[in-house]
Chains A and B, each alone.
Chain A
Amino acid sequence: MSKILMKGNEAIAEAAIRSGCRLYFAYPITPQSELIEYMAKMMPKVKGTFIQAESEVAAINMVYGAAGSGKRVMTSSSSPGISLKMEGLSYIAGAELPCVVVNVQRGGPGLGDIQPAQGDYFQATKGGGHGDYRLIVLAPSSVQEFADMASEAFDLADKYRNPVMILADGMLGQMMEPVEFKPAKTEEELQELANQHLSWCICPNEDGDKKHHHEINSLELDPQVLEQHVLNLYKKYAIIDKNEIRYETYNVSDDNEVLCVAWGTASRVVKSAINEVLKEGKNVGLIRPIRVWPYPYDAIKQAIGKNVKKVYVFELNSGQMVEDVKIAVEGKVPVDFWGKVGGVVFTPAEIKEKLESCF
């Protein structure tokens, strides 16, 4: 299939449908409204379900019900709406249900603004909802990745029976780039995917088996039973941590004097700046976490190598990922941070200036 020019928000909606998402529940919010509008238009054409819910709270609970019924289901929102979904996400993680949640971040806190930002990093990677749980968090940096991550996200959600968040931002949601889609799953493939969940999900008891009593639940009043449940969750998270780390290296070598770490939209700007400083003979590399949980601690640790004198973190927030980078660096070299907040996006020239100051 040839590439077509598409907005990020529409590309992920199209990719989700091709990945077998036939249920989508959401509430409109800028800057992700094209996503819900695309779903409203396309879902009836694939005999899918689209509901514009009365609130983000209702939307995520519809997701919980549909995920508990073993079907591929998605919701999307932007920062203030994602906060409202956190109650439901905690329940979904507790009940170990697969679903995909897209966060097209905007400036915050509070109502904030509608410009791109990365201020929900803590919320996505460290919790947000109550209790001990983890989301798998994918961090795209292009419209193509936005689309590719839709199918990855559904597969990961199914594989681990865990909610997966795609943590994008208003820049990716609103920008247009060429994108190529994977072939759509066939009805047979979708049926096969749904069948994989029949041992636990809400479904008709076809053969009248007396033992068929499937419970979608996260309540365990006995503390010892709940303790075991949470420990089991953390065994699962350890497997995810072992198998699912993804990152990109850009000009990373033993000769790097400065190592940058940036994710999502910020990483694109940093790459442009690195290209400029390379022309001046300065050696700077970049590690871009493609997934921000599980986090590529070892990759950063190894990339410090022999010659890196400083690690520089650039984010569109006040330095939330710096904590993870510091864990990876283990105090071996200084970690500096520079970022923009409030929905302001830094320019390559600004980053270049920061990088030049390191030499």
Chain B
Amino acid sequence: MEIIAKRPEALTKVPFHYCPGCMHGVAHRLIAEAIDENGLINQIAGVAPVGCAVFAYNYFNCDMAEAAHGRAPAVATGIKRARPDMHVFTYQGDGDLAAIGTAEIIHSANRGEKISVFFVNNAIYGMTGGQMAPTTLPDMKTTTSPYGRNVDDIGYPIRVCELLSTLVAPYYIERVSLLSPADIIKAKKAVSKAIRYNKENRGFTFIEFISTCPTNWGYEPEQARQWAKENMLPFFKPGVFRDKGEGVE
């Protein structure tokens, strides 16, 4: 019998702790498959964030560093500069990357660090129990925006891909969705490209995943997926923002 799908080598056998309907597992798998495809398992290191993916170091079967909240791109910078022969990625959530770590992501992108950043955007803080994130949509209710996000008071969601696209240095920036099988296939291509560019030391690569948080949104997984399609995708439009490898500037 032909094996058409198996556990990627770049994932350990540790079961994910993520909630039902959460898409971290999908994102992890796409990254692990891309590591395998590029033969990088022995030359790649990951940096895990604070937040739901804090245990990513238990799941990726490569050297891993756990970073303080928001600091993953700085830690990745230190690793890559210390070991240019290694390839480095960070895995970060929206609270981690777009609030406390805003400076680190912008400046590592601006330096054109030869790292890959995987950014999971589910518009909420998951691990800490459903508080407002920088990516929380207007009028969206969270535990710290119980009356809905008031944009007059707290501003609009931050679109990180668009923000980073104003910089000259980044090599590849794409936003993908994990909300349907077709989207996941597209996402896979983007992740593979990011890891391939990383392997070739081309420059800073950034993939944003539009994801869900059924637990903290208070929806069943399928409802959460529908809600994200209807509400997140219009605001966070998927697409390639920069791809110097294919001439998209």
Q: CA separation between A25 and B78, bound complex, in Å?
A: 9
Listed A/B pairs (14) with beta-carbon separation below 8 Å: A51-B81, A53-B74, A57-B74, A61-B78, A61-B104, A62-B74, A66-B78, A66-B82, A69-B82, A91-B68, A202-B86, A203-B63, A217-B57, A219-B66
**Residue pair A54, B57 in contact (C-beta under 8 Å):** no
Residues of chain B with a CB closer than 8 A to A213's CB: 12, 61-64
Which one of A137-145, A204-212, A260-268 contacts B? A204-212
**A252 beta carbon closer than 8 Å to chain B:** no
0/1 per residue, A313-342, Cβ < 8 Å to B? 000000000000000000000000000000
**Residue pair A51, B77 in contact (C-beta under 8 Å):** yes
**A291 beta carbon closer than 8 Å to chain B:** no
**A58 beta carbon closer than 8 Å to chain B:** yes
Closest Cβ neighbor of B100 among chain A residues:
A57
Our pick among B42, B78, B103, B107 for the contact of A64 (Cβ within 8 Å) is: B78
For chain B, residues 37 to 62, give those with C-beta under 8 angstroms from any C-beta of chain A. 41-43, 45, 47, 54, 57, 61-62
**B76 beta carbon closer than 8 Å to chain A:** yes
Closest Cβ neighbor of A203 among chain B residues:
B83
**Residue pair A65, B42 in contact (C-beta under 8 Å):** no
- Most B C-beta atoms less than 10 A away, residue of A58, A87, A95: A58
- Most A C-beta atoms less than 10 A away, residue of B62, B75, B76: B75
**A63 beta carbon closer than 8 Å to chain B:** yes
CB distance from B222 to the nearest CB of A (A): 31
Interface residues on A, range: 35 or more
**A216 beta carbon closer than 8 Å to chain B:** yes
**Residue pair B75, A65 in contact (C-beta under 8 Å):** yes
Closest Cβ neighbor of A57 among chain B residues:
B71
**Residue pair A65, B77 in contact (C-beta under 8 Å):** yes
0/1 per residue, A10-45, Cβ < 8 Å to B? 000000000000010100000000000000000000
Our pick among A73, A95, A214, A218 for the contact of B82 (Cβ within 8 Å) is: A73
Given A68-B65, A215-B66, answer yes or no on A54-B86 (Cβ-Cβ < 8 Å). Answer: no
**Residue pair B104, A58 in contact (C-beta under 8 Å):** yes
CB distance from A62 to the nearest CB of B (A): 4
Residues of chain B with a CB closer than 8 A to A206's CB: 42
Q: CA separation between A95 and B66, bound complex, in Å?
A: 9
**A253 beta carbon closer than 8 Å to chain B:** no
Our pick among A49, A65, A95 for the contact of B74 (Cβ within 8 Å) is: A65
